Amino acid sequence: MFFQRLSLCAALLLAALPAASQLQEDIYVHGIIPTENVTSLELQPRFKAKDDNKNETVATLSFNPTFKLNDHWKFGAEIPLSRYSAGDVSEKGLGDITTSFIYTDYSPEKIFSYGVGTEIIWPTASHDSLGDGKVVLEPEVFLVWQLAPWFFVETEYRHIFSIAGDSGRDDINESRYRLIFGFMFPDEWYFEFDPRYTVDYKNPGEAELIGEFELGTMVNVGSSVYLRGGWHLAGNKYSQDWEIMLGFKILYL
């Protein structure tokens, strides 16, 4: 039964290819497709409930610039200012800064596009509770299948591992599998559903499934706003109970 359903889905997708190739001439919302290479500046206030039972929370304001270096390469950064709270304990300051180098092969006329690159997390946090205390590499590869101007699917694999840092902090070694289903509409609204599954190799047998959504709209040709939320859905690894985020993005097209 599973293979019959899989074959039917594959046949439907293949049948959609000729139509999809003609429908990609115009993109309804810019800066959403993961392989699109756009210079941008993003502001993200977010609130994460790491453990509701312990009242353990993190509030963060992140500044995320991304620079288009050429048609294929882009450089990005995430600079977080955070406040950690758990019971009577409260600490605030700079979190771990992330930098990224990504290569993408993208064109609006292409049905398939891809990207490869890595993120590097630097142990810049001003308090232990605001970061991991490790230099962490996150190499990734992702594929995007854009079937229409209003719909795309992204698949992503990322390996996350620490290579240096405070010997007193826990090492990190994880794999993350991610899917994004993106819907973009002619009135410049968009919606994404984003499940991701993480396997922890430092703690064998631990894994986590998180589901996220994002709802946003273009304010004008060069900016967008969005609401994003996420929840722990399943698994015996707990990075968070839930999270809510607002975002404002300026695009330099």
DSSP per-residue codes, 75-95? EEEEEEEEEEEETTEEEEEE-
pLDDT for the residue 148: 86
* Look-up of token digits 């409260």: 90
* Look-up of token digits 């902090």: 169
Mean of pLDDT values over 31-42: 92
Assigned CATH class of 2-252: mainly beta
What SS3 state is found at 62?
A: strand
pLDDT for the residue 28: 66
pLDDT value at 114 more than 60: yes
pLDDT value at 143 more than 50: yes
Which of 54-63's residues contact partners 24+ apart within 8 Å by CB, and which partners?
54/86, 54/87, 55/85, 55/86, 55/87, 56/85, 56/86, 56/87, 57/84, 57/85, 57/86, 58/82, 58/83, 58/84, 58/85, 58/130, 59/83, 59/85, 60/95
Mean of pLDDT values over 195-216: 97
pLDDT value at 85 more than 50: yes
pLDDT value at 221 more than 90: no
Mean of pLDDT values over 221-225: 91
Is residue 171 within 8 A of residue 141, CB to CB? The reply is no
CA–CA separation, 105 and 227 (whole Å): 28
Residue type, 157: Y
Mean of pLDDT values over 68-73: 96
pLDDT for the residue 252: 86
Mean of pLDDT values over 211-232: 95
Closest C-alpha to 51, from 243, 212, 181: 243
Lowest mean pLDDT segment, chosen from 9-13, 49-53, 128-132, 245-249: 9-13
Q: Where are the domains of the chain?
A: 2-252
**pTM for this predicted structure:** 0.86
Beta strand pairing call for 223-234 and 242-252: antiparallel
pLDDT value at 19 more than 80: no
pLDDT tier for residue 18 given thresholds of 50, 70 and 90: very low
Helix, strand, coil shares of the chain, percent, nearest 5, are 10, 60, 25
CA–CA separation, 80 and 23 (whole Å): 39
Residue 189, strand partner residues: 217
